[in-house]
């Protein structure tokens, strides 16, 4: 994956909702407003940091997800720690694994911790990957005991998924279940499959439209976790 610096950002969004009333037609949209400020931490790899292919800065999926959630009445304060080439067991561009990134992102008052990835763990021994995944989830539990955990496995942009990705998926699903976390499987849900327009020229990383696509997928998952 592209080399990107680790970043830690906090973003809060509060979006108002405008409802249009065409002549002689009154249209209502019912929103469930959440007046709390929900603290959400995100841990990820270059699918979260963004790359030269897209998703840098305000175009990243987390920022766009906060905007989507804000427009639906959920106030979010987001803390993101992500590093290119990082995984649960694979050091990233600056030597961090997800356990390290979790320690940077998670705060005691977080309501939710989101883990996303990582295809970078291809080739890691399953036993090692299990230990490292458990360690990252344990850190989140220790730092934010009341937080819910949402573990999103790595997507693959085509229908031709290599066996190594299924292995990662299965390890993450098992670890999430053991930790009481919710697991989401982008491979089974065919994220990006049949949508080459959402992937950059490198064939790996999402472009700006791909980050909006991820935001549209992940924002409802976050909202569900915050409302249950």
What total of structural domains would you count in the chain?
A: 1
In a domain, 148, yes or no: yes
pLDDT in tens, 136-177: 999 999 999 999 999 999 999 999 999 999 999 999 999 999
pLDDT value for 36: 86
> Residue 228: pLDDT band by 50, 70, 90 thresholds?
confident
Mean pLDDT across 124-138: 99
Check whether 20 has a pLDDT greater than 50: no
Q: Is the pLDDT of residue 5 over 90?
A: no
Whole-number average pLDDT of the chain: 90
Q: Tell whether 120 is covered by a domain.
A: yes
Distance CA 172, CA 181 (A): 10
Residue 3 binned pLDDT confidence (cut-offs 50, 70, 90): very low
Token pair recorded at residue 59: 């175009």
Residues spanned by the domain of 39:
7-14+32-227
Share of residues in the chain with pLDDT > 90 (%): 84
Confidence of residue 33 (pLDDT cuts 50, 70, 90): low
Asked whether residue 101 is assigned to any structural domain, the reply reads yes
Sorting pLDDT into bands at 50, 70 and 90, what band is 23?
A: very low
For residue 22, being part of any structural domain is answered with no
Distance, CA of 29 to CA of 21 (rounded, Å): 11
Task: Name the nearest CA neighbour of 74 among 33, 45, 26, 132.
Answer: 33
pLDDT digits (tens, 9 = 90+) for 42-77: 999 999 999 999 999 999 999 999 999 999 999 999
Quick check: is 27 in a domain? no
CA 135 – CA 197 distance, rounded (Å): 36
Assigned domain for 65 exists: yes
Residue 38 sits in a domain whose CATH number is 3.40.50.1110
Q: Identify the band that residue 28 occupies on the pLDDT scale cut at 50, 70 and 90.
A: very low
Would residue 26 count as lying in a domain? no
Q: What is the DSSP string of 43-73?
A: EESHHHH-BTTB--GGGSHHHHHHHHHHHTT
Predicted TM-score (pTM) of the model is 0.86
Decide if 77 contacts 12 (C-beta within 8 A): yes
Catalytic residues: 46, 202, 205
Summarize the confidence of residues 98-116 as an average pLDDT.
99
The answer as to whether 23 is a domain residue is: no
């Amino acid at each position: 994956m592209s080399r990107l610096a680790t970043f830690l950002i906090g973003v809060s969004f509060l979006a108002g909702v405008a409802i249009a009333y065409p002549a002689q037609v009154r249209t209502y949209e019912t929103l469930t407003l959440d007046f709390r400020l929900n603290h959400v931490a995100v841990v990820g790899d270059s699918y979260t940091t963004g790359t030269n292919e897209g998703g840098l800065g305000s175009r990243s999926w987390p920022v766009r997800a906060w905007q989507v959630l804000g427009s639906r009445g959920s106030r979010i304060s987001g803390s993101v720690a992500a590093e290119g080439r990082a995984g649960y067991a694979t050091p990233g561009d600056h030597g961090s694994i997800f356990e390290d990134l979790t320690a940077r992102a998670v705060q005691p008052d977080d309501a939710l911790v989101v883990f996303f990835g990582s295809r970078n763990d291809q080739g890691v021994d399953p036993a090692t990957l299990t230990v490292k995944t458990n360690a990252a989830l344990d850190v989140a539990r220790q730092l934010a005991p009341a937080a819910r955990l949402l573990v999103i496995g790595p997507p693959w942009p085509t229908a031709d998924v290599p066996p190594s990705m299924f292995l990662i998926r299965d390890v993450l699903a098992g670890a999430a279940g053991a930790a009481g976390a919710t697991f989401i499987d982008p491979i089974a849900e065919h994220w990006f499959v049949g949508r080459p327009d959402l992937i950059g020229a490198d064939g790996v990383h999402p472009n700006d439209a791909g980050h909006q696509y991820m935001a549209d997928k992940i924002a409802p998952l976050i909202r569900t976790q915050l409302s249950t």
